[in-house]
Structure 1
Amino acid sequence: MAPPRPRSSVPKDRVSGYLSNLRTQSYNDPSARGVSSQLRSIAWNPIGTLVATGSSDRTLRVWNPEKVHVRYSTELKGHTAGIEKVAFNPVKEAELCSVSIDGVVRFWDVKTKAVINEVKGLGDAITLAWAPDGESLVVGNKADNLYILSPTSSTPLASHQQPVQTNQICFCNSGTKVFLTTGEGRVKILSYPDFKPVFTTSYDPSTPFTLNGHTSSCISVEMAPSGRWLATGGSDSIIALWDTTEWHCQRTLTEMVGPVRSIAFSFDGSYLVGGSDEGAGLEIAHTESGDPVHSVKTSGPCPVVAWHPSRYSLAYAEGGMLKILGVDPERK
């Protein structure tokens, strides 16, 4: 029997022992094969009862973590090219958004499999981030154009062309700021929804203040649930942790191999993990100290990681397959 799943924090000195006792479950999609089935995105719904996966072979699937067999999952069909990002509405447990390089953003009711809205003509869409209130979201494409969308409108509310390569987006917890990672290794801090610089440098009030913690392209960004920390990941294999009060880089994590493609904080913000498409294994670190606390052994790279919203369950992609550490599935 699996140990009880806490909804409160496990101390740093005990977390490795706790995680070591958890099972890892694999979720096999027989329709996805080979390199073309690479998982590009993993997302839990806000109550942690469903996990959505989007793949480069156009497969969009919603899994019930407690029921492993693919027959208990739901495939959502419609995209004509690879799916780059999926994310549930943060305030609606069954509303999912998917973006694809087919230029279409789709909003799904995962219970009925219905497309409840779609926005077309957005180019090679590669990333998305929901505002915390679930009323709007930002979608970015390969041409570095950012669109503000509503889940109920078929046309963008606004667009903001960026002058530099823009890789990933996340919101602050209040929804008043967005963080944009750039090919310059910097992170822009912009107001939402007008996309104006929030801070300027002390030496020149006309120069926007940016976070500069990477020696090469900054490609991932994640806000801690508490709002205290912002984590950024770069192609330099470094995760930088920023204090959101003073916007100083408090520490860097250097345990990873290869570009940091994704970052995830545990539900309590105590621990974080990064995903890369190089190396093997996952290194979980203690946020406050930066110390590594637990290693998850894998046979290959794990580019995508996502913690459960209220438990120490970690979903990740390995070998084109979804795996979850910390579930006790029904055997049916």
Structure 2
Amino acid sequence: MKDPKQTQTPIEDLQELRSYFASHNVVREYIAHSSKVHSVGWSCDGKRLASGSFDKSVAIFNLERSRLVQDFVFRGHTGSVDQLCWHASHPDLLSTASGDKSVRIWDTRSHKCAATIPTKGENINIAWSPNGSTIAVGNKEDLVSFIDTKTFKVVTEEQFNFEVNEISWNLSSDLFYLTNGLGCVHIMTYPSLELQTVLKAHPGTCICIEHDPTGRYFATGSADAL
């Protein structure tokens, strides 16, 4: 039997998209933290949602019949959980970056912390490579550390002399992207970290970057409102 999700006709035009969201305009609130939420993310299979908070915890929700049901709350960080990201192909693993100078990997099956990796600074951004082999984490001092997920050790570090805002990978995990405070996107090869090009994307601070599912395009957001 075919999955009904796979037989749905994709929405192709803007008006149809607007109509769809207008007819599905339902908002539900879920209270899982005692302080502000810094990051949310869906697992690769779309069945779990994680949220990271200033209260030092990570909440896991299961999606059941269009409703979220809280499954578990991970605790262990001694500082704010500033960003999280899921494994690109393993729906039970996620990683978190914290102000406590550590990265943690959590297993939602066992409800345990699978690894704790110490880092040199207060971490504010994190990206798991699509092939699953490397986690990149950036701290407040613009140092980016690369963690081998087999050994759970930092294998290399790169110090930048500009404000690093967000980090990302391409689908094949051989290009590494970062946005900076000068409105640019830096693209480097990985693991050599050789600079390939610098795109002047915005007149203001380039804050965020996101790749489309095909890997052909990426979008950036900036303090210039673009």
- Whether these two folds match at TM > 0.5 is yes
CA distance in 1, matches of 2:148, 2:87: 11
Partners of 1:39 and 1:53 in 2: how far apart? 7
Q: Please state if 1:106 is matched with 2:94.
A: no
2:122 counterpart of 1:120: no
Matched with 1:217 is 205
Decide whether the 8 Å contact of 1:117 with 1:153 is kept in 2: no
Q: In structure 2, what is the equivalent of residue 18 of structure 1?
A: 20
User: With structure 1 as the length reference, what TM-score do the two structures score?
Assistant: 0.63
Q: Which runs of 5+ in 1 are unaligned?
A: 199-208, 239-332
The CA deviation string for residues 215-271 of structure 1, in whole angstroms up to 9 with x for no partner, is 121110011112221111111111xxxxxxxxxxxxxxxxxxxxxxxxxxxxxxxxx
Letter in 1 for 2:222: G
Matched length? 220
1:114 partner amino acid = K
| Preserved contact between residue 148 and residue 158 of structure 1 (Cα < 8 Å) | yes
Letter in 2 for 1:18: Y
* CA RMSD, 1 decimal: 1.9
What's the offset of the Cα at 1:56?
1.7
Aligned partners of 2:105 and 2:114 also within 8 Å: yes
Equivalents in 1 of 2:119, 2:74: separation in Å?
A: 20
- The residue correspondences of 1:56-67 to structure 2 (distance < 5 A) are 56-66=54-64
- Partners of 1:24 and 1:78 in 2: CA distance: 34
Asked if the contact 1:117–1:151 (Cα under 8 Å) also holds between the matched residues in 2, the reply is no
Aligned to 2:220: 232
Match of 1:278?
none
Show CA shifts across 1:64-95 (max 9, x none): 1327576x321001011111111111111101
Question: C-alpha displacement at 1:138, in angstroms?
Answer: 0.8
Higher relative contact order, structure no. (Cα contacts within 8 Å, ≥ 6 residues apart):
1
1:158 aligns with 2:160: no
1:281-317 deviation digits (Å, cap 9, x = unpaired): xxxxxxxxxxxxxxxxxxxxxxxxxxxxxxxxxxxxx
Could you say which residue in structure 1 is the equivalent of 2:37? 39
Q: List per-residue Cα deviations over 1:185-205 (Å, max 9, x = no partner).
A: 11101111121112xxxxxxx
8 A contact 1:27–1:69 mirrored in 2: no
Task: Spell out the pairing of 1:1-332 with structure 2 (5 A cutoff).
Answer: 8-12=9-13, 13-29=15-31, 32-33=33-34, 37-66=35-64, 68=67, 72-198=70-196, 209-238=197-226
1:117-163 CA-partner distances (Å, limit 9, x unpaired) = 11013311111111111111211111111111122324201111112
- Aligned equivalents of 2:192, 2:40: Cα separation in 1: 29
SS state at 2:154 partner:
coil
The residue type equivalent to 2:19 in the other structure is G
**Is the CA contact (8 Å cut-off) linking 2:57 and 2:76 kept in structure 1?**
no
Shift of 1:5: 5.9
Distance 1:27 1:147 in 2: 35
Cα distance in 2 between the residues matched to 1:147 and 1:138: 6
What is the distance in 1 between the residues matched to 2:214 and 2:171? 8
Q: Which has the higher strand share?
A: 2
Letter of the 1:10 partner, please give it: I
Q: Is the 8 A contact 2:202 2:222 kept in 1?
A: yes
Identity %: 26
Structure 1 segments of 4+ aligned residues over 3 angstroms from their partners: 4-8, 67-70
Cα deviation digits, residues 43-65 of structure 1 (max 9, x gap)? 11110000111112212101113
